[in-house]
Amino acid sequence: MKRFYSLSHASIDFHFKQSARDFVVEEIPLYEFSGEGEHLVLFVRKKNLSTLELVSAIAKYLGIKNKEIGYAGLKDKHAMTKQYISLHKKYEADLEQFSHENVKILSKNYHNNKIRIGHLAGNRFYIKVKKVNPTSASKIDEALKSINENGMPNFFGYQRFGRDGDNHIDGEKIAKGEKKERNPKIKKLLISAYQSYLFNLWLSKRLEINSLVNKFKSDELVDVLNMPKIELDKLKSQKHPFKLISGDIMEHYPYGRLFDFDGSEHDLSRFNERDITVTGLLCGKKARVASSYAWEIEKNFDDEINADGTRRYAWIYPKDVEGRFNPIEAQYEFNFTLPKGSYATVLLEEIAKRKIN
């Protein structure tokens, strides 16, 4: 899938291979654990294991079903990751002898509720890339500065689409009843890949529009973008790199309710101040869709499928962004925090301005 990028620099050359040594993730919980209750909360470090493989290993050791173990999100397999899982505290004593070469229980706590999918605020990342020369390092510095100041597009990462990058193809067929999938988890995964694929296409289109608005006069874009000059003038007057279009659906950031963008200076100011951000469609039933000129774009990436839809932040703001160049080793190290559901590899691709997998 061809993708537009938000930054204007030329592509940057560096080497990245996702591994436990060069890719570290730490989960940030949504809330503090109470310290009491019937659920044992474990803070676990794993490497070269997916979250589901971690859960399966612990469940097999205890002789219980995987579903008895709760987790907030799926963490990368080819990485060193730290995340929280929960299970009934009656298994606490049995876990004292648990041992796995790729798993270490770092700490434990208690809580009243089981951890469930989505119960996290975000993730903190450490990433190292190699074969970086001083010129590339300087470009990375500038790119990081821009992302820290203005944010970045919230694409789904390549992990979403499977090893061969084509899970969305089967997902579309399943979602439209053209293919059967008996396993409910695989079915949901594949349909989600199709929804994510359409979202990425839409977001890339919006970035293309941003680029055109920045490069050309409104008069020159009326026919190209099929928008009236008055709307294009509004886009050109916006300071933010992501241009809001009449009918966009906004959401309070980093969480909150959805509402329609009405073009007011008040909403533009709130967008610039990171109080709200723009959302994109994950097509399906019950999903709220854009209106006006925003819908004229969005409708090309909508589809009627047998699944529930929703909306997703299209523009996000990484926090605590840091970068360090090691000229002796020709390496560059990144630290940053992303909201849940966002991909560190997307940030790397925005900086590199190319695919990295």
Question: Quick check: is 248 catalytic?
Answer: no
Task: Yes or no: say if 258 and 311 are a contact pair by the CB < 8 Å rule.
Answer: yes
- State the catalytic residue, choosing from 13, 22, 76, 260: 76
The 3-state DSSP class for residue 10 equals coil
Estimate the share of the chain in helix, then strand, then coil, as percent rounded to the nearest 5.
Answer: 35, 25, 40
Q: Are 310 and 103 in contact (CB under 8 A)?
A: no
Terminus-to-terminus CA distance in the chain, angstroms? Answer: 13
User: Rounded distance, CA 266 to CA 264, Å?
Assistant: 5
Residue 349, Cβ density class (10 Å: 0-12 exposed, 13-18 middle, ≥19 buried): buried
Cα–Cα distance, 343 to 341 (Å, whole number): 7
Q: In 45-133, which ranges are continuous DSSP H helix?
A: 51-62
Q: Residue 334: helix, strand or coil by DSSP?
A: strand
* Catalytic residue ranges: 76
